[in-house]
Amino acid sequence: MGFFSTILDLIFPPKCVFCSKVLDRADEGWCDDCTESLPYADDMGKQDGEVFDFCVSPLYYTGAARRSILRYKFRGASHYADVYGKLLAESIRDNPDIKYDLISWVPLSYKRERSRGYDQAMLLALSTALALDDVAVETLRKPIEAQAQSELGDKAQRSANISGAFVASDEELIAGKRVLLIDDVVTTCSTLEECARVLLSAGASGVVCAALARGE
Ligand SMILES: [Zn+2]
């Protein structure tokens, strides 16, 4: 811990990413109370996919986890990615069934990334990969803006909305590889299914997914 980071900690004390309580130095980005009370998903939040193998999620998208992710996605708290990445890396490491050759993410459209200033799933993938001593690489792009999935109702509507929205960015990179696809929140899995479909048609040999939080 250097002099300047000590000064910075005094001016901007690190806070729990979930409840915003000021943290002790020893804390890893979230507080003891949240460690006890976070909405941890049962069975690692495992959901089977149709196109992808399965998706794991350490948290349910509710309560303090949901409020924190909303600040991360919509209120500029992009630095939460460091803490989220450690949490997600832990659930990937703890699940020996997750086999992959490269780590990637579900991209935002260019338009949305410009208006938000950052791609939250990309930041999450980069920090998760870092915590796994790996790197994350771009495999998909989203040239067109679909309507936000959160504005739509059932799975059929969401699947239709997202169909054709993604393209593979580098088929040579993807060919024959198992891709670990990272996203922040997974609800109906329509987006992950569509991304997996595009990756498999581009030559990927399999897709497995991890999201920070899932619907209950
Ligand atoms: Zn907390």
pLDDT digits (tens, 9 = 90+) for 134-165: 999 999 998 877 777 777 777 777 777 778 88
- CA distance linking residue 159 with residue 155, whole number of Å: 6
User: Residue 27 C-alpha to ligand 1 middle, in angstroms?
Assistant: 10
Amino acid (1-letter code) at residue 143? P
User: Residue 13 C-alpha to ligand 1 middle, in angstroms?
Assistant: 14
- CA distance linking residue 108 with residue 149, whole number of Å: 12
User: Residue 5 C-alpha to ligand 1 middle, in angstroms?
Assistant: 22
User: Residue 39 C-alpha to ligand 1 middle, in angstroms?
Assistant: 12
User: Residue 72 C-alpha to ligand 1 middle, in angstroms?
Assistant: 15
> Residue 158 has what pLDDT?
77
User: Residue 147 C-alpha to ligand 1 middle, in angstroms?
Assistant: 33
**pLDDT, mean over the chain:** 90
User: Residue 127 C-alpha to ligand 1 middle, in angstroms?
Assistant: 20
- Exposed (0-12), middle (13-18) or buried (19+): which is 215, by Cβ within 10 Å? middle
Q: Categorize the per-residue pLDDT at 46 as very low, low, confident or very high, splitting at 50, 70 and 90.
A: very high
> Residue 160 has what pLDDT?
76
pLDDT more than 90, % of the chain: 68
Q: Which of 40-54, 77-91, 150-164 has the lowest mean pLDDT?
A: 150-164
- CA distance linking residue 213 with residue 58, whole number of Å: 6
Count of beta carbons in the 10 Å neighbourhood of residue 150: 9
- CA distance linking residue 8 with residue 96, whole number of Å: 39
3-state secondary structure of 55: strand
